Amino acid sequence: MTVQVSIYGFLSDGSLRKPLTFEANNNANQGYGYLFGEPANYLVARGTYSDLRTKRLIPLNEGNVTPIVGKSGIELDLNKVDEATLNELTNEERNRIFNIIDLLAYDQEDTSKFETILTDDLTTYVGYKANSFSISTESASVSVTGTDNTQYDHIVRNWVEFTFVHGNVEFFFHIWISLLSFAKYYPYTTITAVIPPYDIKALVDPSYMLQQGNIKVLANSSSYIFNKANIETLTRDQNGIYTFNTKYVLNSSTSVQLPFALAYCGAKVPTSLECRKAIREYLEKETSFTTDVLAAVLPEIYVVCVFYLTPLWDVYSARTERDVYNSIWSVKTIRNKAAKAYIDQDADWIDEHLEILTQAQSKTLVLSLPDVSNEKHFSVLELHPTYQDYSAQVPGWKYMTDTTQEFAGKFIRAMAVLEGKDISEEFIVTEISGVKYLSFSVGDAEYLLMYPDSYSDLMSKK
């Protein structure tokens, strides 16, 4: 069985550090090969996978006699790496990995020849998996130091990626050399602190909170009662503070949306699953209440899976009386629209997990894809095997289980809101990577329905 390990890191390279001088505007940093500033905070447990080679391979000048000089290393977050498996690589294999990086990042050869170079050389690049490399289309001319201590102008690519094979383990490397590119695209986010809007031991006692009369203040304030000193301290080594709102149950008939602040490191804000997990772990650490008690007060915190639901808003037939959504569908059309709607997901993930739902509110077909970070549940069908596109007025409604009836009811009402046929405060509006969703939860699953305007924006991209 093949084991896959992903390594996302930044290549620190001494050859890209220009010598400091006293000349005006001369800077040791060129934006390549040196990780510093806010992006360096992305790596919470920062470590370096060092280059052990005594000689670099890539020539710099036309005579091909001056190789690059300077030590390099992959800087990474040790919390995001299977360090034990990475350490199984021998020193010779490590050298070959850096040989591959040097070729892909620095070599001035025609890039169409790279595959042949990588696969034909039976010593320098052994371990490289055929047809696995990819390189950035963006690059820059950067001063690189040669062994003669001369600065050469050299084209350096923003990032490289490839797969290296060790036994039954495939290591996928995605390595940035450009600081700006790393700052924008590094995929991991780490939540480093959870800040509740009130003393947590009081917060998990709704009856006490009702007596104190603080609920409306907590729920409605735009400058939540987080300790200012704590936030100032946290932001010094964080990349941001994200506010996550979640359902807080006061009693059987009353609930409000309550904000938690989450300090995080990374290029992107944390996902809803990451937020819930962090708050859940915080609650269980800071209180002595059982999971059942905590879930009764903050039920949405115990959501462990998310499904992105995408209505195909633009697939309909225009009629004089009204637009009619199609009842016959092209599989090719569905697959093409799924690729645009889920643009950040791998094609293999879409092919394996894409589901199609019909619903009672309208004839609009709805695509469904699970989040790759789901702790469990990757299929709406498995969660709701009795689901039918019935409304509560149809006799067949009774044949769905209670949980699925709840799902179907919320699904119908949410679609009505998105179609402009109803107004409801039952649902939460959320935005992820610029895409707007209307969300609802059932059990331990959250469902995010895409707004028509966000759908149109995604479909308009080539």
Is it the case that residue 234 has pLDDT exceeding 70?
Answer: no
Q: If we measure between CA atoms, which residue out of 286, 337, 291 comes closest to residue 316?
A: 337
Residue 234, SS3 per DSSP:
helix
- Report the pLDDT value the prediction gives residue 207, as an integer from 0 to 100: 76
Q: Name the H helices within 175-321.
A: 179-185, 200-203, 206-212, 215-220, 228-235, 272-286, 291-297
CA 331 to chain centre: 28
The residues that bridge with 164 in the sheet, in sequence order, are 128, 171
Say which range, 24-38, 198-212, 423-437, has the weakest mean pLDDT.
24-38
Which of the residue ranges 4-13, 59-68, 389-398 has the most confident prediction, judged by mean pLDDT? 4-13
Domain ranges of the chain: 3-185, 189-302, 305-460
* Half-sphere exposure at residue 77, Cβ-oriented, CA atoms within 13 angstroms: 17
Say which range, 124-128, 138-142, 252-256, has the weakest mean pLDDT.
252-256
> Between 321 and 455, whose confidence is greater?
455
Is it the case that residue 370 has pLDDT exceeding 90?
Answer: yes
Question: Are 95 and 52 within 8 A, CB to CB?
Answer: yes
Is it the case that residue 167 has pLDDT exceeding 90?
Answer: yes
- Report the pLDDT value the prediction gives residue 21, as an integer from 0 to 100: 47
**In the structure, what pLDDT confidence band is assigned to residue 25 with cuts at 50, 70 and 90?**
very low
Mean pLDDT of the chain: 85
Query: How many whole angstroms separate alpha carbon 451 and alpha carbon 167?
Result: 46
- Report the pLDDT value the prediction gives residue 57, as an integer from 0 to 100: 80
- Report the pLDDT value the prediction gives residue 204, as an integer from 0 to 100: 80
- For strands 445-450 and 435-442, give the pairing: antiparallel
**Digit-coded pLDDT (tens) for 272-298:** 889 999 999 999 999 888 888 888 888
- Report the pLDDT value the prediction gives residue 380, as an integer from 0 to 100: 96
Is it the case that residue 223 has pLDDT exceeding 80?
Answer: no
- Report the pLDDT value the prediction gives residue 13, as an integer from 0 to 100: 92
- Report the pLDDT value the prediction gives residue 277, as an integer from 0 to 100: 92
Q: What percent of the chain clears pLDDT 90, i.e. is strictly above it? A: 46
- Report the pLDDT value the prediction gives residue 96, as an integer from 0 to 100: 96
Is it the case that residue 19 has pLDDT exceeding 60?
Answer: no
Q: What percent of the chain clears pLDDT 70, i.e. is strictly above it? A: 88
> Contacts from 205-209 at CB under 8 Å and sequence distance 24+?
206/248, 206/249, 206/250, 206/251, 206/297, 209/250
Is it the case that residue 92 has pLDDT exceeding 60?
Answer: yes
**In the structure, what pLDDT confidence band is assigned to residue 257 with cuts at 50, 70 and 90?**
confident
Query: How many whole angstroms separate alpha carbon 27 and alpha carbon 196?
Result: 43
Is it the case that residue 133 has pLDDT exceeding 90?
Answer: yes
**In the structure, what pLDDT confidence band is assigned to residue 224 with cuts at 50, 70 and 90?**
very low
Q: Mean of the pLDDT values across residues 31-56?
A: 92
Q: If we measure between CA atoms, which residue out of 341, 299, 321, 293 comes closest to residue 451?
A: 341
> Between 62 and 239, whose confidence is greater?
239
- Report the pLDDT value the prediction gives residue 320, as an integer from 0 to 100: 57
Is it the case that residue 139 has pLDDT exceeding 50?
Answer: yes
- Report the pLDDT value the prediction gives residue 63, as an integer from 0 to 100: 55
Query: How many whole angstroms separate alpha carbon 176 and alpha carbon 425?
Result: 44
For residue 242, CA distances in Å to 89, 218, 224, 235, 261 come to 38, 16, 12, 11, 6
Query: How many whole angstroms separate alpha carbon 451 and alpha carbon 429?
Result: 10
- Report the pLDDT value the prediction gives residue 23, as an integer from 0 to 100: 44
